[in-house]
Amino acid sequence: MNERLKVYDEKMQKSLKFLTDDLATVRAGRANPHVLDKLRIDYYGTPTPLQQVSNVSVPEARIIQIAPWDKNMIKEIEKAILASDIGITPTNDGANIRLVFPELTEERRKQLSKDVKKKGEEAKVALRNIRRDGTDAVKKLKGSDVSEDEMKDMEDELQKMTDKYVKEIDKAVEEKSKEIMTV
């Protein structure tokens, strides 16, 4: 790979990583502790990730159990869950918090699948923007010590790079949609 194009490859990798991390937070009928990844708890005045103030486990297929290390944090955790967009009401037994995930309806599955495809499209747009930036950078090399053939090769390489990442995005979206639609 051309040294000048490495920066665009890294940007495309980051776009793909962002998408896969984002898709991991989409719930698909089963309890997935990653839906809590974006949750921040007010830990004595400091917004702290839930995983740093409690133990998050999945004892059953559709239940997430949160066991705070400091029992005084139960109310704060409960408040953060209710304020989030998870859409599940927590149950509190005084020591632990349980999130029971209801079975997804067919309509909700289709909506989630549509949302996943939309996120995939947004990631592809980001890739195309990176490719455009790379192509613009290559065109600016005109008149320098880079020949026309080398510039053409660099543009072809950028296109191949983009195609590779588009396939990976399609694969990630396909897998997540399949997971969502599986009853």
CATH number at residue 62: 3.30.1360.40
Residues 120 and 95 in one domain: no
Residues 20 and 38 in one domain: no
Structural domain span for residue 77 = 33-100
pLDDT per residue as tens digits for the range 110-163: 888 899 999 999 999 999 999 999 999 888 888 777 788 888 888 999 999 999
Residues 124 and 163 in one domain: yes
Q: Could you tell me which residues come within 8 angstroms of residue 119 by beta carbon, excluding any fewer than 6 positions away?
A: 19, 22, 23, 173
Residue 171 predicted with pLDDT over 90: yes
Report the pLDDT value the prediction gives residue 3, as an integer from 0 to 100.
Answer: 80
Residues 40 and 75 in one domain: yes
User: And the tokens for 90?
Assistant: 């927590």
Residues 13 and 74 in one domain: no
Supply φ then ψ for residue 103, to 5 degrees: -65, 135
Q: pLDDT category, 174, cuts 50, 70, 90?
A: very high
Residue 183 predicted with pLDDT over 70: no
Pick from 75, 100, 125: which residue ends a domain? Answer: 100
pLDDT per residue as tens digits for the range 49-90: 888 888 888 888 788 898 988 888 888 888 888 888 777 888
Residues 177 and 109 in one domain: yes
- Residue 105 burial by CB count (10 A; 0-12/13-18/19+): exposed, middle or buried? exposed
Cα–Cα distance, 34 to 21 (Å, whole number): 9
DSSP SS3 for 141 = coil
Question: Which range, 32-36, 91-95, 158-162, has the best average confidence (pLDDT)?
Answer: 158-162
Residues 39 and 63 in one domain: yes
Q: Could you tell me which residues come within 8 angstroms of residue 149 by beta carbon, excluding any fewer than 6 positions away?
A: none
Q: Is residue 63 within a helix (H) or strand (E), and if so which, with residue range?
A: strand 63-68
Pick from 57, 84, 100: which residue ends a domain? Answer: 100
Residues 40 and 80 in one domain: yes
Pick from 73, 100, 127: which residue ends a domain? Answer: 100
Report the pLDDT value the prediction gives residue 34, as an integer from 0 to 100.
Answer: 78
Residues 57 and 121 in one domain: no
Report the pLDDT value the prediction gives residue 92, as an integer from 0 to 100.
Answer: 86
Report how many domains make up the chain: 2
pLDDT per residue as tens digits for the range 97-109: 898 887 778 888 8
Q: Is residue 49 within a helix (H) or strand (E), and if so which, with residue range?
A: strand 46-49
Cα–Cα distance, 178 to 170 (Å, whole number): 12
CATH number at residue 136: 1.10.132.20
Report the pLDDT value the prediction gives residue 139, as an integer from 0 to 100.
Answer: 86
